[in-house]
């Protein structure tokens, strides 16, 4: 096990959902040294299922959003190690429970946040105006994950318990494409991710144990049309896509998280590990192919479903929580795999449902089932040792 770099380690402090919370960097370093919380606000026990940095707009790289219960909360990670609350949204439906949240962007550059959950409705919030921009209705059951297109941040994919993946235009509120049917998923779809370089391709996975790669290239005219459509969104000629370009089963149980790693795929089931594997498509045989597992990243105490991992923007590191409240950080550039560190704290004992890494990989956020957001920062050894000397 090694640190993020030769001169860095991680410090931590907890914050909580829907609260104003501010700690200085010195306090956070002391927290690492003493392993005790100096400031912790708990405003309920509502589980947090999702947390996400804004990685699509450089103006807001320090902003993040969390979701849990019927609340969506926006924060700013301050450079001195603190966190400030920016805005809180409470859905009018008290029975709503948000499972996923993702940043998006309007055509004029307005930051949006899209969130969905048990009700199957996706709320699109205009962050600047603090209003609901659009409500996306179409899924027949819970929404499990929302992901934003890297090159066209007005486009988002949503996965659902209704066995479908849908492509939306959050600017216009149009459902463009529905991926389901003959060769689609046979149980709820849990995770989805856009390819980092191929704008037409994405990967999905679900409780049917399969992972599928889909292509939108043939249907891209519908995407273009969604930006210029002037009629009612319900009248848009939404297209059904029933056949993926690739299907495989590299896991024997539910697959609850998948992410692209270049042209390779990282995926996780409930088997205490993350797999890195290569999909090999067969020319002239749509939907067929083979998969070769290249590396395995063990994650102890991680056999519950709906625990999701994250990577930094440069795909140097991967972080994932487990059901004991610990966070495992892996170096993705090393072969064989190198475990960078295990982040733990005496107060972090609940299931970590999702992590989020800042664009530069120096900050890790963790959404906990007890309603707490944990922040871990990489700090220099020199700074940490100086703080320890002050304490002594």
Average pLDDT over residues 352-356: 98
Q: Is the backbone peptide bond immediately before 101 cis, with ω within 30 degrees of 0? A: no
Note whether 271 and 253 are within 8 A (CB).
Answer: yes
Q: Per-residue pLDDT for 11 more than 90?
A: no
| Strand ranges, E, within 17-164 | 50-53, 63-68, 71-77, 83-90, 98-105, 111-117, 122-126, 131-136, 143-148, 155-160
* pLDDT score for 200: 98
Write down the CATH number for the domain with range 8-391: 2.130.10.10
Average pLDDT over residues 348-361: 96
Q: Quote the percentage of the chain above a pLDDT of 90.
A: 80
CA distance 6 to 291: 36
* pLDDT score for 78: 87
Work out the end-to-end distance of the chain between its first and last CA atoms, rounded to an integer number of angstroms. 28
CA distance 19 to 42: 8
Dump pLDDT digits (tens) for 23-45.
222 223 323 322 222 223 243 58
Note whether 312 and 357 are within 8 A (CB).
Answer: yes
CA distance 294 to 275: 8
Return the domain boundaries, the chain. Answer: 8-391
Average pLDDT over residues 360-366: 95
Q: Quote the percentage of the chain above a pLDDT of 70.
A: 85
12 pLDDT band, cuts 50/70/90, is low
Average pLDDT over residues 141-167: 98
Averaged pLDDT of the chain: 88
* pLDDT score for 365: 95
Average pLDDT over residues 235-245: 98
Tell which wins on pLDDT, 40 or 375: 375
- CB atoms inside a 10 Å sphere around CB 41: 13
305 pLDDT band, cuts 50/70/90, is very high
For 16, the token pair is 């909580």
Q: Per-residue pLDDT for 7 more than 80?
A: no
* pLDDT score for 359: 94
387 pLDDT band, cuts 50/70/90, is very low
């Amino acid at each position: 096990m090694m640190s993020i770099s030769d001169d860095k380690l991680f410090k931590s402090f907890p914050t909580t959902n829907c609260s104003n919370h501010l700690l200085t960097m010195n306090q956070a370093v002391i927290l690492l040294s003493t392993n005790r919380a100096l400031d912790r606000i708990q405003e309920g026990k509502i589980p947090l299922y999702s947390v996400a940095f804004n990685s699509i707009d450089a103006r807001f790289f320090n902003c993040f959003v969390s979701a849990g219960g019927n609340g969506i909360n926006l924060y700013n990670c301050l450079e001195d190690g603190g966190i400030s609350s920016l805005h809180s949204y409470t859905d009018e439906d008290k029975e709503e429970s948000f499972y996923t949240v993702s940043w998006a962007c309007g055509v004029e550059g307005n930051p949006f946040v899209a969130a969905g959950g048990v009700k199957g409705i996706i709320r699109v919030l205009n962050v600047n105006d603090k209003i609901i921009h659009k409500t996306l209705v179409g899924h027949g059951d819970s929404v499990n994950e929302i992901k934003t297109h890297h090159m066209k941040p007005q486009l988002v994919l949503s996965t659902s318990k209704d066995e479908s993946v849908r492509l939306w235009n959050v600017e216009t509120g149009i459902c463009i494409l529905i991926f389901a049917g003959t060769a689609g998923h046979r149980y709820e779809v849990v995770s989805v991710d856009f390819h980092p370089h191929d704008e037409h391709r994405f990967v999905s996975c679900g409780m049917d144990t399969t992972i599928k790669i889909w292509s939108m290239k043939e249907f891209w005219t519908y995407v273009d049309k969604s930006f210029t459509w002037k009629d009612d969104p319900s009248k848009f000629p939404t297209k059904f896509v029933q056949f993926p370009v690739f299907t495989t089963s590299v896991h024997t149980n539910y697959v609850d998280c998948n992410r692209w790693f270049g042209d390779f795929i990282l995926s996780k089931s409930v088997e205490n590990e993350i797999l890195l594997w290569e999909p090999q498509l067969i020319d002239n045989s749509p939907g067929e192919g083979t998969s070769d597992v290249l590396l395995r990243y063990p994650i102890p105490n991680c056999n519950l479903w709906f625990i999701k991992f994250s990577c930094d923007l440069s795909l140097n590191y991967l972080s994932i929580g487990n059901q004991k409240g610990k966070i495992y950080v892996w170096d993705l550039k090393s072969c064989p795999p190198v475990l960078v560190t295990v982040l733990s704290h005496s107060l972090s004992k609940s299931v970590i449902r999702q992590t989020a890494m800042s664009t530069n990989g120096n900050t890790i956020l963790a959404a906990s089932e007890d309603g707490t957001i944990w922040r871990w920062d990489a700090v220099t050894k020199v700074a940490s040792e100086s703080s320890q000397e002050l304490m002594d």
